[in-house]
Structure 1
Amino acid sequence: MKTIAIVGGGITGVTTAYALAKRGFSVTLFERHRYAAMETSFANGGQLSASNAEVWTHPSTIIKGLKWMLKSDAPLLVNPKPSWHKISWFAEFMASMTAYEKNTIETAKLAVAARQHLFAWAEAENIDFDLKKQGILHIYRDKKGFDHAGKVSEMLAKGGLPRHAVTPEEMKAIEPTLAGQYYGGYFTESDSTGDIHKFTNGLAMAAKRLGVRTLYDQDVTNIQSDNNQVKISVAHSDAPTSIHTFDSVVVCAGVASNQFASQLGDRVNIYPVKGYSITVNLNDAESQAGAPQVSLLDDETKLVTSRLGEDRFRVAGTAEFNGYNRDIRADRIKPLVDWVNQCFPKINTRSVVPWAGLRPMMPNMMPRVGRGKAANVFYNTGHGHLGWTLSAVTADMVAEVVAAQASAERATIISGSTNLARVST
């Protein structure tokens, strides 16, 4: 049986391990934390949002970034301190603007396809992850934002995702708890929300039942391939470095994928884009009644929301280009709390849990899925702000690539054996 290593125990690593195990491979998953989903897959916005498939490679992103550069509470914040990594990433980002529409349509297609995999897996494995299928409402305060959303809707429709415009009155009917004045909105009934951390851990246990060997507290430091075997070096705090050998490897290591790809002779130009979230504990009846049931996306502030069960409300967003920095900044958390107080005044924000995570973003905003230069190296990484939304389909895609290669190798071996037998005869 072909042995495959997965490096990374976040949402993409665990879904990939599960998809490969379902195809009969012997899978070992390495995760440097004690549990699965402890970094970017811990407390994201919770949206399974095909309606958020618009890629960021639009001229307006650059304009906003320059405008907000010195504003600490801005939705998009770029640390002006230069680095070669940041400069090369932004250069590729701008070069990708010509593919803005094409990539938005392709992302929508992937997001729509991902649903059937994720929901089927959750049902098959009986995973409770606070799934709420009540749609996502995009809200706009002015005509300019609303009109741009109309153009985006046309692209999403080409990707197979219907969504429709709604009036302020219809917005109020969809989500009665939302306060404030709005120009209009767009509603995607087919979108949903859920707790990524609960889902990932539930699927990790399901993968283990399928035979996946899950190795936690394993800090992978180096990956090498000679095209036939992969050697993975793991550092230990209380023991010498250990080396594990496999037939193949799939790199699903989030922002660390950049480093591992370099070791393997590949270029995967992922930049760590920090996002923040708050989880508001709804500890009283008034807060529970005053929190929305329908998920929201505020395009002006770049914030998203999810209702997680009866007593939690998640608000997440913003983008910070500040290197591999995981600090939780008070000046970046405050706008999230203020937003809750303004839009949902009946929610008591006395109990708020802040969090920050690094999104692994490719310059063209498209995930890297498929083979590397070496015949036994594969990638499923770089999903940016849509890792939760796209993970199930990209896991299935990379598992198909691995399976196809294994099948081709078996066919070659069988063909060689047959030819040898004919020569011998």
Structure 2
Amino acid sequence: MKVVVLGAGIIGVTSAYELAKAGHEVTVIDRQKGPALETSFANAGEISFGYCSPWAAPGIPLKAMKWLFMKHAPLILRPKLDTAMLSWMARMLTNCTADRYALNKSRMLQLSDYSRKALAAIRQETGIAYDERMRGTLQLFRTQQQLDASGKDAEALAADGIPFEMVDPDGCVRAEPALARVREKFVGGLLTPNDETGDCFKFTNALSAKCRELGVNFSFDTTVTGLHIEAGRARGVFLAGQERVDADAVIVALGSYSPLLLRPYGIDLPVYPVKGYSLTVPIVDPLRSPESTVMDETYKIAITRLGDRIRVGGMAEISGYNSTLAPARRLTLEHSVTDLFPGGNIGKATFWSGLRPMTPDGTPIIGATNIAGLFLNTGHGTLGWTMSSGSARLIASIVHGREPEIAAAEFGLNRYATLTSAHFNKNVRRRLSRGHKHRRCAPNSARDQRS
């Protein structure tokens, strides 16, 4: 079967790899000059198989209100007259309930655990290196209030059978020795030892080389202008200059830009860009640097060791398709990393932003559409790196027509079919009458800031 994959980020390249292994003839098309040059380029570097939660959760609207007024705010809202933004925020509000949160989290954990196994298989098959470490994540609490509130997280982890440890300041220092120099700045932490770290850009490029060995063709510097639909079936794509690439199946893995391609074909894809920022800081003294990932709960910032660099990532800015680098966001990242790991060469840090493709319920959209031969693998939000390998294996199974190893229907676009516009409007009116505002739905914890 000839398969065209649109997008050469972490989702598109892992999808191409799994499809090529299954014996398909695969072409990957991307507008950039190479793999992983947009959202996959400089994300936080954390691979959180054990701890992934939807942004939309009970109590989050009120918590988010406080974040909006912080000097170093983890949430930034730039409201505009954008129907896609308003629709996405309305749908997100409908998921800020206990029942929806539990359902969405269970889906995310299922895919995350599946992805953990799939990534381990890729490492074994390919032997590729990407500054990977398997030393866990330390969520660091600066206040007793944060530590006390973490009890709910601990209960959720225990219920899902995910290894974790609540640690006092001494335990934090044992996990991350460099924190001994700032021991007075935190009261404890939550350690999840099975989490991993790695450079998503390095991984994606290394895997793309393995894809080429399997016969995958990559077409870079190439703009897709539309889908070739004939007799109700996707037959390929049109490129700039009216060139056409024919295929038996098309997979859309364009991240935040997926809805823009699909809208003219009557597909309402509830994915919206949420911008994140990162700094990449060269390591001057390894003894003053993190060993793995430290999540600064106060500022919702992830500080991750990637080889001879430190990646500092976080924040959620809802401002549409906006890639500008705001100086104030850089100051927040610098404040967090220099406060916990002083002495680094922050002056030589590189500053970056990327658009995370978020769904209202936090779960990616993977599967078929109502157009035969057209498939989706998008909407992974902050967890694209974490869920990429499992998502690729799942979409390859669906395209290939074999029985998936996990419940595919849980991740399909059809899960939104029962939530009509009338349902959204009714729930939004009800929530607004109780004093809630759209802008208050936001990330749940520092762990939800991953790119």
Give the superposition deviation at 1:68.
4.1
The residue type paired with residue 234 of structure 1 is L
2:225 matches 1:221: yes
Query: Any residues of structure 2 matched to 1:264-303 within 5 Å, and which?
Result: 264-282=265-283, 284=284, 287-303=285-301
2:172 matches 1:171: yes
2:199 matches 1:185: no
Query: Any residues of structure 2 matched to 1:199-238 within 5 Å, and which?
Result: 199-226=203-230, 227-235=232-240
1:72–1:332 contact (8 Å) kept in structure 2: no
CA distance in 1, matches of 2:300, 2:293: 13
Give the superposition deviation at 1:169.
1.4
Helix, strand or coil: the match of 1:50? Answer: coil
Give the superposition deviation at 1:290.
0.6
2:396 matches 1:395: no
Q: Out of 210-219 and 101-110, give the one that drifted further.
A: 101-110
| Match in the other structure for 1:194 | 198
> Structure 1 residues 406 and 364, CA, compared in 2 at 3 Å: closer, same or farther?
closer
Give the superposition deviation at 1:70.
5.8
Helix, strand or coil: the match of 1:304? Answer: strand
| Match in the other structure for 1:12 | 11
The residue type paired with residue 354 of structure 1 is F
Give the superposition deviation at 1:41.
0.2
| Match in the other structure for 1:153 | 154
| Match in the other structure for 1:54 | 53
The residue type paired with residue 211 of structure 1 is G
Helix, strand or coil: the match of 1:185? Answer: strand
TM-score by length of 2: 0.84
Identity of aligned residues (%): 36
Give the superposition deviation at 1:381.
0.4
| Match in the other structure for 2:370 | 373
Give the superposition deviation at 1:51.
4.1
CA distance in 2, matches of 1:405, 1:314: 39
Cα RMSD over matched residues? 1.9
Helix, strand or coil: the match of 1:45? Answer: coil
The residue type paired with residue 231 of structure 1 is G
2:385 matches 1:385: no
Larger radius of gyration: 1
CA distance in 2, matches of 1:72, 1:201: 37
1:101–1:155 contact (8 Å) kept in structure 2: no
> Structure 1 residues 156 and 102, CA, compared in 2 at 3 Å: closer, same or farther?
farther
| Match in the other structure for 2:433 | none
The residue type paired with residue 333 of structure 2 is L
| Match in the other structure for 1:21 | 20
Q: Out of 112-121 and 90-99, give the one that drifted further.
A: 112-121
Query: Any residues of structure 2 matched to 1:39-78 within 5 Å, and which?
Result: 39-69=38-68, 73-78=72-77
CA distance in 1, matches of 2:6, 2:265: 13
The residue type paired with residue 145 of structure 1 is Q
| Match in the other structure for 1:143 | 144
In structure 1, list runs of 5 or more residues that go unmatched.
408-425
1:71–1:77 contact (8 Å) kept in structure 2: no
C-alpha distance after superposition, 1:334-363 (max 9, x if no partner): 111111111011323221110000000001
CA distance in 2, matches of 1:253, 1:186: 34
2:58–2:101 contact (8 Å) kept in structure 1: no
1:105–1:158 contact (8 Å) kept in structure 2: no
Give the superposition deviation at 1:298.
1.8
C-alpha distance after superposition, 1:143-185 (max 9, x if no partner): 3322333212332344442212111111111111122422221
The residue type paired with residue 297 of structure 1 is M
Query: Any residues of structure 2 matched to 1:96-175 within 5 Å, and which?
Result: 96-98=95-97, 99-175=100-176
| Match in the other structure for 1:418 | none
Helix, strand or coil: the match of 1:350? Answer: helix
C-alpha distance after superposition, 1:310-330 (max 9, x if no partner): x21101000000110001111
CA distance in 2, matches of 1:189, 1:317: 21
Q: Which has the higher contact order (CA 8 A, sep 6+)?
A: 2
Q: Which runs of 4+ in 1 moved over 4 A?
A: none
2:234–2:250 contact (8 Å) kept in structure 1: no
CA distance in 2, matches of 1:66, 1:85: 22
Helix, strand or coil: the match of 2:329? Answer: helix
1:224–1:264 contact (8 Å) kept in structure 2: no
The residue type paired with residue 105 of structure 2 is T
The residue type paired with residue 298 of structure 1 is D
> Structure 1 residues 72 and 223, CA, compared in 2 at 3 Å: closer, same or farther?
farther
CA distance in 1, matches of 2:169, 2:106: 27
C-alpha distance after superposition, 1:216-239 (max 9, x if no partner): 11111212433444231111xxxx
Q: Out of 326-335 and 262-271, give the one that drifted further.
A: 262-271
CA distance in 2, matches of 1:258, 1:269: 7
> Structure 1 residues 185 and 105, CA, compared in 2 at 3 Å: closer, same or farther?
farther
In structure 2, list runs of 5 or more residues that go unmatched.
405-451
